[in-house]
Amino acid sequence: MSTSPVTLLVARRAAKGRYPELLAWLHEGERLATDFPGYLGSGVLAPPSGDDEFQIIFRFACENTLYAWEHSASRRAWLIRGDGLFAEPCEHRAQGLAGWFGNPGQPRPPRWKQSVAVWLAFFPVSLSFNFLFGDWLGQFGLLPRVLISTLVLTPIMVCLFIPLATRLLANWLNPPARPRPVPDGLPQVR
């Protein structure tokens, strides 16, 4: 089993008329995960306007800690309580940044696009953090300043802003395939 952090991406489409209950249930699962060893963070992403599919992200220190949470009695009880709240469940496990860029079986975008997406998420959050806490952090030396800022910003970035940025930039990161034009004189397949 792996010793690097593991992310579990879960999509749940709200059952008809159960939207508020599903949202409350997802947040309950998020709170439940915080009690488990190896838990690094989680977040619930609401669907865009006109959609009803929520995404929840769970991040654990390694495959073993995720496995312990996934097979726990408290998680099983939580899943039973959620019965009937959602339709079309979908789960995907990823390690490193792989889970943020593309779906399984799809080619990943070029590394430069991945870098731009991460930077677009990180820059405004880092700027805001430094604007709000820069004066207070200024009293510390370089090492404590960097330690504090990375301790605060890493879970926020991993659980919220990078997934949000990749979702917002999905069409740019993985543009839909366009049909190629047929040269003149060749028959078109219909």
**Pairwise CA distance, residues 9 & 52, whole Å:** 16
| Cβ atoms of 53 and 13 closer than 8 Å | yes
Q: What is the pLDDT of residue 139?
A: 93
Q: What is the pLDDT of residues 13-60, one digit of tens each?
A: 888 888 888 888 888 988 889 889 988 888 887 777 777 777 788 888
Domain that holds residue 19: 6-96
Q: Using the 3D structure, point to which of 96, 123, 149 is the last residue of a domain.
A: 96
What is residue 138's DSSP assignment? T
**Same domain for 67 and 118?**
no
For residue 150, name the pLDDT band (cuts at 50, 70, 90).
Answer: confident
Measured CA to CA in angstroms, residue 155 lies from 31, 76, 93, 122 at distances of 15, 26, 18, 12
From the list 113, 19, 3, 147, the residue with the least C-alpha distance to 62 is: 3
**Least confident range of 53-62, 83-92, 104-113, 173-182:** 173-182
Q: What is the pLDDT of residue 6?
A: 83
Higher-pLDDT residue of 4 and 122 is: 122
What is residue 97's DSSP assignment? T
**Domain annotation covers residue 35:** yes
Mean per-residue pLDDT over the chain, rounded: 78
Q: What is the pLDDT of residue 188?
A: 45
**Same domain for 68 and 124?**
no
- Domain of residue 69, CATH code: 3.30.70.100
- Region 167-172 average pLDDT: 83
Number of domain units in the chain: 2
Q: What is the pLDDT of residue 73?
A: 93
- Region 165-177 average pLDDT: 78
**Pairwise CA distance, residues 16 & 19, whole Å:** 7
Q: What is the pLDDT of residues 103-126, one digit of tens each?
A: 544 567 777 888 888 888 889 988
**Same domain for 91 and 10?**
yes
**Same domain for 10 and 85?**
yes
Q: Does residue 80 carry a pLDDT above 70? A: yes
Burial of 64 (0-12, 13-18, 19+ CB in 10 A): middle
**Same domain for 166 and 138?**
yes
**Same domain for 45 and 121?**
no
**Domain annotation covers residue 86:** yes
Residue 57, H or E segment = strand 53-60
Q: Using the 3D structure, point to which of 96, 126, 148 is the last residue of a domain.
A: 96
**Same domain for 76 and 148?**
no
**Domain annotation covers residue 105:** no
Q: Does residue 77 carry a pLDDT above 90? A: yes
**Pairwise CA distance, residues 155 & 21, whole Å:** 26
**Domain annotation covers residue 187:** no
- Region 84-107 average pLDDT: 60
Query: Which residues have C-beta within 8 Å of that of residue 107, sequence separation ≥ 6?
Result: 174
Say what percent of the chain tops pLDDT 90. Answer: 8
